[in-house]
Structure 1
Amino acid sequence: MRTDWAGASMRTAAIRPEYAGTVGRTAAVHASGATGAGDPAKVARLVLDLVDLDEPPLRLLVGVDAHAYATAAGRSLLAEDERWRALSESTTADDATPEHLDPLGHRG
């Protein structure tokens, strides 16, 4: 978002070589002067509109970049969970009942 978030408060000291791949990359982005695509006024309007909703979202990805990164991460996490599902479920007790498997009643 186009704010001074990456301004003076994000200045970094000299970076040691072993941190060049992490802190160095972040510092390079900040030093580039690049600004985000988000408009702070539109974000503020969105927040004000959200409070008037009868059923506001529990969470909201604000911005094209946030949506793209978060949904990619979510898909990756889901794929990994599905990949190892059988192994995860292999620890279920042989005598487990439906109540054991869903004690909070979320699956029904």
Structure 2
Amino acid sequence: MVAVPLALAAGVAPASAKDGDTHITGQGINQTIDCNGATLFVNGTGNTINALGTCYAVTVQGSSNTVVADNIINDVTVYGFDQTVFFKGGDPVLVDRGRELGMTNRLDRVPA
């Protein structure tokens, strides 16, 4: 007998990154990207990312990363400490997992 996960048997694709999601992993990276409606994932330390256009979501892990986004429509999720995510447009849900553990992060709307 072969077991088939229900999602596959029902013809539903397993969850995965959307085509065009951007993953930035490293230390000290300075980069400007076009979100193109997808999710931006930043993992590492000391990275500075300028995200142009509309991001579906932004997720940041590590420490001392900075993201400045034109527009975020769904959510900003931050893990770690000393993270900064500024956005100029959108009304995303702000989830600061670091603050829940007593760490300091900055998530806020800034003037365009």
Q: TM-score by structure 2 length?
A: 0.20
Structure of higher RCO (CA pairs closer than 8 Å, 6+ residues apart):
1
Higher helix share: 1
When Rg is computed on C-alpha atoms for both structures, the one with the higher figure is 1
Higher strand share: 2
